Homo-oligomer: A and B are copies of this chain.
Amino acid sequence: MPASIQKRPISPSWGEIAKKAQDHRDASIALLDPPLPEIAELPLNSTPVPKTILTAEEVAITEADPVGLVSQLASGTLTSVQVTEAFLRRAGLAQKLTNCVTELLPVASLERATYLDSYIKEHGKPIGPLHGLPISVKEHIGMKGLTLNAGFIAWHDRTADQNALILDILYAAGAVFYVRTTQPQTLMHLETSSNFYGETVNPFNRTLTSGGSSGGEGAIIGMRGSCLGIGTDIGGSIRSPAANNGVYGLRPTSYRLPLSGLSATMLGQEQIVPVIGPLSTSLGGVKLFMKTLIDAQPWLQEPSLLPFPWKTASQIPTDASGNKTLKIAVLYDDGVVRPHPPVLRALKTVAEKLARVQGVQVTEWKPYKHAEAWTIISSLYFCDGGKEESEAIEASGEPWRPLSKFIIKENENVKRHSVREVWDWTVKREEYRTEYARLWGDVDVILCPVGPGAAPPLNCARYWGYTAQWNLLDYPALIAPITKVDPEIDLADTSYKPRNPKDAYNHDLYSPEKYANAPVSLQLVGRRYEDEKVVEAMEYMMEKVGAPFTEFV
Contacts and interface: CB of A to CB of B under 8 A. Distances in A.
Given A302-B434, A303-B434, A426 B270 contact: yes
A306 B271 contact: no
A300 interface: yes
B387 A430 contact: no
B529 A418 contact: no
Nearest to A435: B303
A270 B270 contact: yes
Nearest to A428: B268
A278 to B, nearest CB: 22
Contacts of A424: 268
Interface string A405-425: 000000000001111101111
Contact of A430 (B304, B416, B422): B304
Interface in A285-322: 299-304, 306-308
A267 B427 contact: yes
Nearest to A473: B303
Nearest to A530: B307
A269 interface: yes
Interface in A390-409: none
Nearest to A260: B434
Nearest to A271: B270
A422 to B, nearest CB: 6
Contacts of A303: 433-434, 436-437, 473-474, 527-528
A513 to B, nearest CB: 43
Number of copies: 2
Interface residues of A, number: 43
Contact of A438 (B301, B416, B425, B440): B301
Interface in A258-281: 260, 266-271
B384 A420 contact: yes
Nearest to A268: B423
Contacts of A383: 419
A503 interface: no
A529 B426 contact: no
Contact of A268 (B308, B426, B527, B529): B426
A536 interface: no
A418 B420 CA distance: 10
B422 A422 contact: yes
A553 B268 CA distance: 48
A388 interface: yes
Interface string A318-357: 0000000000000000000000000000000000000000
Interface in A425-451: 425-427, 430, 433-434, 436-438, 440
A534 to B, nearest CB: 14
Interface string A145-158: 00000000000000
A301 B434 CA distance: 7
A300 B530 CA distance: 12
A71 B257 CA distance: 43
Nearest to A421: B419
Contacts of A300: 437-438, 440
A184 to B, nearest CB: 22
Contacts of A427: 267-268
Contacts of A260: 434
Nearest to A385: B419
16 contacts: A267-B427, A268-B422, A268-B423, A268-B424, A268-B425, A270-B271, A299-B529, A300-B437, A300-B438, A303-B436, A303-B473, A303-B528, A306-B529, A384-B419, A417-B419, A419-B419
Given A267-B427, A270-B270, A299-B528, 14 more contacts: A266-B423, A268-B430, A269-B423, A270-B271, A300-B437, A301-B437, A303-B436, A304-B433, A306-B529, A307-B529, A308-B308, A388-B420, A419-B419, A419-B422
**4 closest cross-chain pairs (CB), A and B:** A268-B423, A268-B426, A303-B437, A268-B427
